[in-house]
Chain A
Amino acid sequence: MASGPSGSANALQPALIPGGPTEAARLGTATGISPVWGFILRRLVLGIVVLVLVSIVVFAATQALGDPARAILGRSATPASLAALREQLHLNQPVVAQYLTWAGGLLHGDAGNSLAAQEPVTKLIGDRIVNSAILVLCAGLISIPLSVAIGSYAALRRDRTFDVATSLSTLVFAALPEFVVGVSLVVIFATTVLHVLPAVSLIPPGGRPWDNPVALVLPTLTLVLAVTPYVARIMRASMIEVLESDYVEMARLKGLPERVVITRHALPNALGPTFQVIALNLAYLAGGIIVVEYVFNYAGIGGALRDAVSNHDLPVIQALAMLIAGLYVALNLLADIATIMVTPKLRTRL
């Protein structure tokens, strides 16, 4: 992240507020709005700039590099079919015009037509967005409280049995790729050891994921196991740091009961960095679903992206890449803002 104007070695503060706290404050006073709003405004503008750059990268990687028409049609391409496809994808226009047509379409909610299905991309992925959102929501609702609880408790019981046990198991689970966790769960609960849960989570056309909640169990569990260790480790580290701080010491010396020290003084400050990690992990879930949905044949955007890459279906790839990256940027933005809001220490410095 940006170094503060002072270029100080303290990575903590400048990292959180690009340009440093003084700059955020200056922006606030210059425009006559509060520093918090100045900060939020600044982050919003930055987020939009990142999104524009992301769209350029997505476009460049899919359409401007190489010869997409040939990549899509493969060896069976005839000059006539190549020409027709170039026409459909606007490949015969200058690159900048192509980009503007595409980006303009996206802004109007028009992502073009899928090459494989010959249908509008938006229609194709509409239901899948809902399906994926359900999956991410389930995983988030379980993993976030779970990881905050595990991390905090491990910090309070530092170096005791619970801490050592969770430290080792989170280390192991954090290292495992999602598809290894997912397929292992299938082997254990669906096909080989036990036969209690479905191995695939098919959603019939027109159906909804909640019609068959049992099918959601294994994909959700996979995502929870992928995310929880990460957040729990950061929660633990941040809680330990807070517990050793001067203000917690002060609160204890004042004679406050330990419960009050932890819930009123330690937890709010420890949640700051964890908020970022939570948002980050929701965003990470948005990427993790690519593999997990494929493991369970779940009809979401992740599975769709995998199939689109396999079929060289450029408009679908572009739309899904922008969707996932957009979600990523938005969640990062929210995390930055939420951190400022919940961390008393940082809010007063702003």
Chain B
Amino acid sequence: MSVVNPLVSNEPPLIQSKRPTGVILGALGLGRTRIGLGLVLIIAAIAIFGPLIAPHGPADFIGLPNTGPSGAARFGTDHLGQDVWSRFLDGGREILLLASAATLLGLAIGTSLGLLAAYSKGALDDVLMRSMDVILAFPSIMLALVAIATLGASGWLIILAVGLTNVPRVARVTRAAAQPIVERDFVAAAEAIGVPRWRILFGEILPNVLSPLMVEASLRLTYSIGLIAGLAFLGFTPNPNGADWGLMIQENQIALVVQPWGVVLPIIAVALLTMGTGMVGDGIARAAAGIDRVRAE
């Protein structure tokens, strides 16, 4: 969302001299990073190992719909009579997988474009960054919805669409961080001895912009999780009959008065997960720059 926030977000948010390992160690020394990391690990463990300990299959009908907690169903049944606890344990994998993939895709493409723009300068730089502005002219969720409208909510499309919304934001941060690096002598030296362009970009410049990229990565992960869970909440998931935290919240919202657990469990999971990634990101940002990071969706 940093369409018009150049005064804040385009300001190089970094001190390049800090090494990535130093930043990580510094971040781990902060309380918020540790708490955030703990939250993320707990939720990730539920998502990954949950299906192994689930008492029932996610699509098994075990009783009447919307019944409260009982001996057979620890947290009651959902709108179809499926076990809420089992579906909760089963519903995190998809979100984690899709959000991680979309973040990695956005990082890979965004970093490449940002490095290329900073290194090329001139017309290519302008064309690249102006096309990023066009993508930024859409609210992220709308971009994904427009793509889903014709092509259907397949896993690949969601990764592509959400990944695409991450690209311009990553590209801007990378470009801003790489611009001063491009002017440095070691880049000119590499050019002089004939190092190929892609190796200058990824071998010489990239290692110097890793700190701001780590901050951006955690930010993008937080937003990808929110966006993908939000799409599932709207009913757009690769598997509309499967268990998925976002979808569970939507399905069971109608019966909130009689059976809140089908909504409350996944809500807590999504909330703790995004809070966790957000806190980790804030910790990394503080360690990297020593300043407050502002959310730049």
Contacts and interface: CB of A to CB of B under 8 A. Distances in A.
A199 B256 contact: yes
B11 A176 contact: no
Interface in B1-22: 1-8, 10-12
Contact of A9 (B12, B142, B226, B235): B12
Nearest to B133: A50
Nearest to B245: A180
Is chain B's binding surface mostly helix, strand, loop or mixed? Answer: helix
B207 interface: no
B152 interface: yes
B12 A183 contact: no
A96 interface: no
A279 interface: yes
Interface size on B, as a range, is 35 or more
Interface string B143-162: 00111111110000000000
Contacts of B278: 171-172, 174-175
B121 A177 contact: no
B223 to A, nearest CB: 9
B121 A7 contact: yes
B191 interface: no
B264 interface: yes
Interface in B258-297: 260, 263-264, 267, 270-271, 274-275, 277-279, 282, 291-292, 294-295, 297
A335 B1 CA distance: 14
Interface stretch (A136-144, A201-209, A248-256, A304-312): A304-312
Interface in A74-106: none
B275 A280 contact: no
B168 to A, nearest CB: 11
Q: Taking each of B125, B180, B256, which has the highest tally of chain A beta carbons within 10 Å of its own beta carbon? A: B256
Given A71-B150, A71-B152, A287-B141, A183 B253 contact: yes
Q: Taking each of A51, A183, A324, which has the highest tally of chain B beta carbons within 10 Å of its own beta carbon? A: A183
Nearest to B295: A174
B139 A328 contact: yes
Contacts of A167: 292
Q: Taking each of B10, B145, B235, which has the highest tally of chain A beta carbons within 10 Å of its own beta carbon? A: B145
B234 A61 contact: no
Contacts of A172: 275, 278-279
B12 A62 contact: no
Contact of A62 (B149, B176, B234, B264): B149
A220 interface: no
B6 to A, nearest CB: 3
B44 interface: no
A61 B137 contact: no
A286 B139 CA distance: 8
A288 B297 CA distance: 12
A299 interface: no
B222 A9 contact: no
B234 A12 contact: no
Contacts of B2: 280
Interface in A150-182: 167-168, 171-172, 174-180
Contacts of A309: 145-146, 148-149, 234, 236
Contact of A290 (B7, B145, B260): B145
Contacts of B260: 187, 191-192
A187 B145 contact: no
Contact of B7 (A50, A61, A276, A279): A276
A54 interface: yes
A255 B58 CA distance: 70
Contacts of A180: 226, 229, 267, 270-271, 274
B138 A280 contact: no
B193 interface: no
Contacts of A218: none
A57 interface: yes
A191 B257 contact: yes
A290 B8 CA distance: 27
Contacts of B32: 168, 171
A283 interface: yes
20 contacts: A1-B172, A3-B121, A9-B180, A53-B137, A168-B32, A171-B278, A174-B278, A175-B222, A175-B226, A177-B225, A180-B229, A187-B256, A191-B256, A233-B294, A233-B295, A273-B8, A280-B5, A290-B234, A309-B234, A328-B3
4 tightest Cβ-Cβ pairs between the two chains A and B? A287-B139, A175-B278, A15-B6, A177-B226
Given A65-B150, A317-B145, A332-B137, 13 more contacts: A57-B138, A61-B149, A171-B279, A172-B278, A175-B222, A176-B274, A179-B249, A180-B229, A233-B294, A234-B8, A237-B294, A280-B2, A287-B141
